[in-house]
A and B are shown apart, each in its own frame.
Chain A
C-alpha cells in the first residue's frame, strides 16, 4: 500500500507501539484486498467489551487521545447484572473496568449502542466511517448513504486508533451499485410488523452470496424508518450483506435504475409467501411452549418500540424475565415518558447491552444456574444469536406475541399468512 508521511510515521512507531501495531495490521488487511491506499475516517466505532483484553492492550498501548471521534458498541454492566442476582456477574467485572478506564483516557464516547443514529450520531451521505458491528454498518450504509465497508470488531479498533481505513470495497462509489435484485412476488405488506421485515431480511441475507450490494424492489415508497432498519439489519446475520438499497426509500435508491447504476442485475431473487413462511419456521427452534425470557431491542430499541411495549404492559406482571436492549439516552427518554416505570413495574429490564449475543439472562457464563433455557424475540438477528451463541430454545414472532408470552409464560405464536 502507498502510505502518506503521517501513515509512515505511525508504522515507524513515532506514535508509540499501539499505533504501530494497529497500522501494521491495517496494512496487512488492506493488502489482502489489494487496497492501494488509506482513507481518513469521519469517525470510528469500536467495541471495547467484545475485544479480548490482550488485543485491546496491544492496540491501545501508549496511544494518545485521538483527534477524531470514536464511539462504542453495546457494553457490559456486571454491577447491574449482580443486582439482578445473576451468579457469575462478578467474573465479567475486572476486565470490563480496566478496558473502560483506558477507553475514557482516550477521550472516546460511551455511546454503548448498536444504533447511534438514534442519538443524533448520524453520518452524512458520503461520510467515510470505520466501524465494527454488522448491523450498524449496514444501517449507516443503506439508510444514510454513509460509506462503510464490512469490517470485524478487532480490525475496527485498529482503524479507530489510526483514524484510517483501507480504501476498498464499499468505500468506492463504483462498488455501491446493487448487483443483486430482490423482487417481491405475492406479498401484501399492508399489515406487516417489524418481525415480517426482520424475516424478509434474514431470508435475503441467506440467499445473497458474499457481501454483494442488494436492491429490494416492490415495497411502498418511504418505508417507515423502523421497518427499513429491521429489513436491512437482518441481512448480515444470515449472510454478509453490508449495503441494501430499498428502492423508493433509501438515499442511493430513489429509483431502481439509480440503485443498479443503470446496469442489469447479476441475479434476481424472488421472494414470496412460501419463503417467508419457511424462514419464519426456521427461526423458531423449540420443542415445549414454555417461555422463560423475552428479548427486545435487537437492534437497540427506538422510543416508539418502548412506548408500544409499555402500552401492552400497563398494570401487568410478567411470568418471564424481559430485557429491552436500549441506549442510555433512549432509556432516559423512556423514563421521562413514564414508560420505563411501567415496564420495570411489570418486571422488565433495560440495558445498553446486546440482548442477543451477550444477553445476561440467556448466557450460561453470566446467569449460571439461573440461565433462561428458552427465549422469545421479535428480531431475526436476536433469534439467530440466542440459538447459536447462547444455545437456548428460541421462539420468533411478533412484538405482540412476545409481550403475550412474557405475561403468560407460554408461546402462542403463529406463522405468517
Chain B
C-alpha cells in the first residue's frame, strides 16, 4: 500500500516499522549508545529504534534533540527513516542536520495502517510511503 506525505528532509530508506502513538525526543527517548528507548515505564522501553522506520506523532522535549540525534547517527543507532503526524522545529532540525529521511502530514491514518513489524519504504524526497504488511 502506498501513501503520500509532506517532505521534512529528503532521501530514501526502508526497514521494519516501530509504531508509537505518542511524541518523541531524540534526547532522553533514545540512548545513542545502544539505539534503545531507555525511558522507565515507556511503552517502547528497551526496544531498539536503530535502523528502523520510526512512526510517531510529533517531536517534544529539549532543544538538545538535535545533538542527541547527531550522536545516535554517528553510532549507527539512529532510525533509518521517520514518519510522523506533524513535525516541529527541533525534530525537523534534527533530521535535516543528521540527514535522516523524514516525512510528516501523511494522507492516511498511519496508526491504523502501519503496525510495528511491517516493512516500510520511505522516499522522503518524493513524499512517498510504501507499506508491506507483516
A interface, CB within 8 angstroms of B: 25, 28-29, 32-33, 47, 50-52, 55, 132-134, 137, 149-156, 169, 205, 209-211, 236-240, 282, 285, 357, 384-385, 387-389, 391
Binds A, one of B11-19, B46-54, B84-92, B115-123: B84-92
Contact B96 A29 (CB under 8 A): yes
Cα separation A153 to B63 with both chains bound (whole Å): 6
B93 at the interface (CB under 8 A from A): yes
Q: Are A236 and B39 in contact (CB under 8 A)?
A: no
Taking CB atoms, residues of chain B closer than 8 Å to A32 are 7-9, 87, 92, 96
Q: Which of A55, A137, A209 contacts B63 (CB 8 A)?
A: A137
Residue from B8, B28, B64, B74 within 8 A of A153 (CB atoms): B64
Contact of B90 among A50, A150, A282, A388 (CB under 8 A): A150
Residues of chain B at the chain A interface (Cβ within 8 Å): 7-9, 23, 27-29, 38-41, 57-67, 70-71, 74, 86-90, 92-94, 96-97
- B71 — nearest CB in chain A belongs to which residue? A52
B61 touches A152 (CB 8 A): no
The CA-CA distance from A236 to B62 in the complex, in Å, is 6
The listed residue with most A CB atoms (<10 A of its CB), out of B27, B60, B96, is: B60
Least distance between B45 CB and chain A CB atoms (Å): 11
Chain B residues within an 8 Å CB radius of A154: 66-67, 70, 93-94, 97
Question: CA–CA, A51 to B70, complex, Å?
Answer: 9
Q: Which residues of A contact B29 (CB under 8 A)?
A: 388
Give the CA-CA distance A205 to B25 in the complex, in Å: 13
Are B38's CB and A152's CB within 8 A? no
Q: Contact between B93 and A152 (Cβ–Cβ < 8 Å)?
A: yes
Chain B residues with Cβ below 8 Å from A210 are 58, 86, 88
> By the criterion CB–CB under 8 Å, are A155 and B60 in contact?
no
Are the CB atoms of A240 and B90 closer together than 8 Å? yes
**Residues A153 and B67 in contact in the complex (CB < 8 Å), given A32-B8, A210-B88:** yes
Q: Are A385 and B93 in contact (CB under 8 A)?
A: no
Besides A32-B8, A238-B61, A240-B88, 9 new A-B residue pairs in contact (Cβ under 8 A), listed by A number: A52-B70, A134-B90, A150-B90, A151-B89, A151-B93, A211-B89, A236-B61, A282-B41, A388-B39
**A33 contacts which chain B residues (CB < 8 A)?**
89, 92
B96 contact from A28, A239, A387, A391, Cβ within 8 A: A28
Contacts of A169 in B (CB 8 A): 89
Instruction: From the candidates A55, A155, A389, A391, name the one contacting B27 in the complex (CB within 8 A).
Output: A389
Q: In the complex the two chains form, is B66's CB within 8 Å of A357's CB? A: no
Assess whether B67 is in contact with A155, with CB atoms less than 8 Å apart.
no
The reply to whether B64 and A209 contact each other, CB–CB distance below 8 Å, is: no
In contact, B28 and A385 (Cβ under 8 angstroms)? yes
